[in-house]
Chain A
Amino acid sequence: MPEQINPIPDCQLTWVFGLLETLEDRGGRDDGYRIARDLQFNFSDLLRVMKAAELFGFVSTPSGDVVLEPLGKKFLEFDVNQRKLLLREQLKKLSLFAYFIRLLRGQPDHSLPKEIVLEHLAMLLPNESPQKQFNTMVNWGRYAELFGYNKDEDRFYLDQE
């Protein structure tokens, strides 16, 4: 039985940080719909932000509410480099990231051309846009200094471990 790989929501990390700040300002809990309305932020985008924040263990989402969890609170207290470290640990736990870390480790120079990565994504997640999954993975991976991508050399690689 092959392991289950879950897609990641198409979401900017800066949105996740903004959601955590917003929750802290609101006493740690609020209704997702109210946050979207107050901030004039697209609600379906906010659902993806909530989903991402939940994947990182920063919030929980009981019945439409968003609740700031201890790890999310800790993240807010951290400086930028501590934030990157914490996020790196959380990303490593995601099945999609774990899959590509393993795949890249198996390559002689810990790198792959983008086209190969897209083929893996298309195979693993047939219902998702491989390009979107790739872009999000690169953006999150770059922030956490876990993955790098060099467009000129067309090289997706392990940044550091």
Chain B
Amino acid sequence: MALLDLKHVSKGYPHNKGVLPVLEDVSFSVEQGEFIAIVGPSGCGKSTLVRIINGIVPATSGQVLYNGRQVDGINLECALVFQSFALLPWMTVKANVEMGLEARGIELAERERIASVYIDKVGLDGFEEAYPRELSGGMKQRVGFARALAVEPKVLLMDEPFSALDALTAITLREELLDIWHSPDMSVHTLVMVTHIIEEAVELADRIIVMSSHPGRIAADIRVEIPRPRDRRTDEFNNLVDKVFSLIEERT
């Protein structure tokens, strides 16, 4: 059984007495341990889709099954990492990481213990008492990852996690994400990442779901067979980038 199963998911927003369709009949499944990238042009509904999987945005029709069961409301087995980091500026790194744990009713001593484990994992030791404005973008997104990982999710959802970062920072954080994914003592083995950067999807993912826009539909579902670590300078890599690019172009 697939870990996540999306069945005919559609989403529309009320607009001018009618409905503005954002997603239409999206179906795919995610196996335990897979790294899925969802790519598509802006406006294809990919950010809405990842929020529907998380449960913070309800679908208009269709179902999202987790382990074969429909989840009502927010799926507590999923955690979301945002492009904008979404940190609270008046709280320290440590407090930001603990935030999700507090929301789940975990008591203080346990919150502190868990937070320190994940602060350590993402390399934020030494930054516990720093405030977000003292941090570079890369350090801020490490806080975003630590906060998401601290709730020990089974699925890590990411919405353009590296898009707000400069190239050198993004290179470093992508490597660190792969290390986290391959780390045997992590609870999370299944990753779903939304990105508009095709090279990023080809470098990281096992499977790429290509979306077209207006409304968002699945244009292709491609397995990436290139062995890891993947070298961006090979023909194999660039051919796949071109293929995904042309699939997006055709449908848009």
Contacts and interface: CB of A to CB of B under 8 A. Distances in A.
Genuine A/B complex: yes
Interface of A: 12, 14-15, 17-19, 21-22, 25, 39-41, 49, 79-81, 83-84, 135, 138-139, 141-145, 148-152, 159
A149 to B, nearest CB: 8
Nearest to A138: B134
A38 B169 CA distance: 14
B189 interface: no
A145 B173 CA distance: 20
B166 interface: yes
Nearest to B127: A142
Nearest to A135: B134
B175 interface: yes
B110 interface: no
12 contacts: A12-B138, A15-B169, A15-B172, A18-B172, A25-B233, A41-B166, A49-B168, A80-B120, A142-B130, A144-B126, A148-B126, A149-B134
Contact of B167 (A18, A80, A138, A144): A18
Interface in B103-158: 120-123, 125-127, 129-131, 134, 136, 138-139
A151 B134 CA distance: 9
A81 to B, nearest CB: 7
A14 B232 contact: no
B120 A18 contact: no
Interface of B: 120-123, 125-127, 129-131, 134, 136, 138-139, 166-173, 175-176, 179, 231-233
Contact of B175 (A19, A21, A152): A21
Nearest to A140: B126
B213 to A, nearest CB: 25
A12 B169 contact: yes
A135 B169 CA distance: 18
B136 A139 contact: yes
B167 A19 contact: no
Nearest to A79: B179
Nearest to A143: B126
A135 B233 CA distance: 36
A51 to B, nearest CB: 14
A21 B177 CA distance: 14
A56 to B, nearest CB: 15
Contacts of A138: 134
A17 B235 CA distance: 26
Nearest to A80: B123
Nearest to A17: B172
A135 B130 CA distance: 12
A126 B162 CA distance: 37
Contacts of B126: 84, 141-145, 148, 159
Given A81-B120, A151-B131, A14 B168 contact: yes
Contacts of B127: 142-143
A84 B125 CA distance: 9
Given A14-B139, A41-B167, A81-B120, A148 B129 contact: yes
Contacts of B129: 148-152
A94 B31 CA distance: 49
A145 B125 contact: yes
A143 B171 contact: no
